[in-house]
Amino acid sequence: MSEEEAKPIEPAEEEESPGPVPAATETPEAKELRAKAESEAQSAIQGTLMRLGFVNFDTTSADNTTFGAMVAPDWRKHFKRDVYVGIKDKEQSTEFLGRIVEGPFHAPHEVSTDSAITRTTVLHPDRTQFRPTYYVYGTIEVLGVLTDGERLLTTATRPRPYSEIYVFPESRLRKLLDIEGNFYLGHLMGYTGVKVHADATKKSFLPRNVGVFGTVGSGKSNTIQVLMEEALTAGWAVVAVDVEGEYVRMNEKTDDANLTKLLQDEHELEAAGVKDLKVYVPMTGHSEAAAPLRFKVPISQLEPEVISDILEFSEPQVRLFGRIIDAASRQARASGNRQGVFGGAIAATAPQRSYTLQTLVDGLTEDASGTFPLLPNIQTPEKSTAHTLRNKLFHLGRSGILDWNATANVAELPVDELTVAGRLSVLDVSETDDRSRNIAIAYTLSALFDRVIETARGERMPSGKERPPVLVVIEEVHTFVSRESAAKMRAVLDKLQVISRRGRKRWMALALISQQPGHVPDELFELANTRFIHQLKSVANLAPVKQTTGGVHEALWSTVPSLGSGQCLVTGAVFKNPLFVNIRPARSRRLLIG
């Protein structure tokens, strides 16, 4: 809201209320004088408020949460959607807090809207001497009632007709909307003077899991970056699965001069890179990071059901896969060699594994005699299944993300290094195929979850450091599990639900990101309780978000398709009511991938 709009219409000098006298020494006369002074001060404050209009009578379509407002000509320029208003109901001696959710609409005074006179004057305004005057009206959502202690409480009633409506002072909004904390998000939309913070110490925020949804260019990536920056500042360990290679230079400050100026002028912040960044990339991948670390994933640490889901094994392949895993495990126990096929310096220090991807590929390779090393009793009809299974595993190995001969000298992803307070760990899988990428995501989630279960937040880990809260960011989650593939990936979904349910109690949070929420299965929507909803124009993408988001007035959804870049609707238990927020620019650098 501009300074001009925020200027009171009929300002009155505000009187300072005298401080309270201790109850033990306050005489009845003094108490009466103090009450009178407080009443006069309140009246003076009320006189400085910018009036908007009055509560209208209800129509047959009225509901419990909204009411109609009529606005006088002198005040109608201030009546805008998402403006917070106070309602002074003298009949009930109650003050309400509301938000304009519909309007401004316009209706003529002297004639009906659909009359011939109205049509003529609108179509030919310069040729008619008579032009009906008009009034403005709209709909206001009731957010609650205000108490003397400046608290917002739920209400079982609504404002009476003729109650005065005024623009609510910015100075009172922060406390009433519960937007204070140590996690700075940006400004309340339309209120550049009202900063929106969340509380990173509450389980109602990040541990309830985050969903960020928005179309290309809506500001979704910037919001993710801000969430990561603030989480790191609050002492979280952040692990991001980067499918585009956008976040690999976040240790550098933003190089956008316009964003730097915006940070300084509107947010009182300086551009700055994150202090502790490590970037991991598969052996065959390329990264724009300054010093990326190569990594691989041990296939033996993933549940066979999860691998079967991701690689879309048929039923015969699932059964055969289970048999070769059992055979490889028995063989390793019998030989006492739990190093797999690895040798060299890495093998001497690598964790012991019962089998590797190379073990499985070799075990499914038919020799000259027609024998499969891990399937000595295989039947002839099963051989074609074995060949197909081997081809799938071999193709998976070529991504360079799993443990086979080509990655023998590459270290496994150091999970303990990911759980460091204030550290951002980026898995740059931008050049990895979807299936290999999903294997990496599944392993990272499972391994981090195991660490979180082993050691409670604040307790000492084997490294000697305190275990911090952990945030895992999964970009384009619809490519991990889609609505179309959900039925085939029950093991993956079940694992995610377990991690979500048990992880939040142990301060492990997920941030699920998608530009195509129409492809996100309902099971994943259920996991994301805190939502940042950017512009979504497509009905196919907006509908599932709307259907799975509670507590949002119907009228607010009509604003989502027209949101500007960086603007979003924030919902969830983190705030008392859904809020439209202008997310601040990220302080660190993001690579723009063309």
pLDDT in tens, 13-70: 444 444 444 445 667 776 666 666 555 445 444 444 788 999 999 998 889 999 999 9
- Comparing C-alpha atoms, which of 585, 589, 584 is closest to residue 252? 589
pLDDT (average), residues 98-113: 90
Poorest-pLDDT segment among 12-16, 140-144, 567-571 = 12-16
Report, as an integer, the average pLDDT of 118-127.
83
Residue 503 has pLDDT above 70, yes or no: yes
Report how far residue 553's alpha carbon sits from residue 143's, in angstroms, rounded to the nearest whole number. Answer: 11
Give the whole-angstrom CA distance, residue 244 versus residue 446.
Answer: 23
pLDDT of residue 583: 98
Homologous superfamily of the 183-297+413-583 domain (CATH): P-loop containing nucleotide triphosphate hydrolases (3.40.50.300)
- d(CA 538, CA 521) in angstroms, rounded, equals 17
pLDDT of residue 17: 41
pLDDT, residue 256, reads 94
Query: What's the mean pLDDT when you consider all of the chain?
Result: 87
Confidence of residue 9 (pLDDT cuts 50, 70, 90): very low
d(C-alpha 578, C-alpha 277), whole Å:
33
pLDDT digits (tens, 9 = 90+) for 212-241: 999 999 999 999 999 999 999 999 999 999
The yes-or-no verdict on residue 463 having pLDDT over 90 is no
Task: Give percent above pLDDT 90 in the chain.
Answer: 60
Sign of CA dihedral 552, 558, 561, 565: negative
Q: Note every long-range contact of 458-465, with CB atoms under 8 Å and residues 24 or more positions apart, other chains counting.
A: 461/416, 461/419, 462/416, 463/416, 465/420, 465/421
Q: What is the pLDDT of residues 182-212, one digit of tens each?
A: 999 999 998 988 999 999 999 999 999 999 9
pLDDT band for position 326 (50/70/90)?
Answer: very high
Domain with CATH 3.40.50.300 in the chain: 183-297+413-583
242-281 pLDDT, tens per residue?
A: 999 999 999 999 999 999 999 999 999 999 999 999 999 9
